[in-house]
Copies of this chain bind each other. A is one copy, B any other.
Amino acid sequence: MIDPYNDEYFMKQALLEAKTAFEKDEVPVGCVIVLNKIIIARTHNLTERLTDFTAHAEMQAFTSATEFIDNKYLDKCTLYVTLEPCVMCAGASFWTRIGKIVYGASDERRGYKRLTENVLHPTTEVISGILAEECKDLMISFFRKKR
Residues of A within 8 A of B (CB): 47, 51-54, 59, 62-63, 66-67, 70-72, 86-92, 94-96, 115-116, 118-119
Taking the closest CB of chain B, its distance from the CB of A75, in whole angstroms, is 13
Distance of A110 Cα from B115 Cα, bound (Å): 16
When A and B form their complex, which 10 residue pairs have the shortest distance between CB atoms, in order from nearest?
Answer: A88-B91, A87-B91, A53-B95, A88-B92, A91-B91, A52-B66, A52-B63, A54-B63, A51-B72, A54-B59
Secondary structure of the A side of the interface?
Answer: helix
Distance of A71 Cα from B48 Cα, bound (Å): 10
B72 touches A47 (CB 8 A): yes
Taking the closest CB of chain B, its distance from the CB of A70, in whole angstroms, is 6
Distance of A47 Cα from B66 Cα, bound (Å): 11
Q: A88-B88, A91-B88, A118-B115 are in contact. Are A71 and B51 (CB under 8 A)?
A: yes
Listed by A's residue number, 28 A-B pairs whose Cβ atoms lie within 8 Å are A51-B71, A51-B72, A52-B62, A52-B63, A52-B72, A53-B62, A53-B72, A53-B95, A54-B59, A54-B63, A54-B92, A54-B95, A86-B95, A87-B90, A87-B94, A87-B119, A88-B89, A88-B91, A88-B92, A88-B94, A88-B95, A89-B91, A90-B91, A91-B91, A115-B115, A115-B118, A115-B119, A116-B116
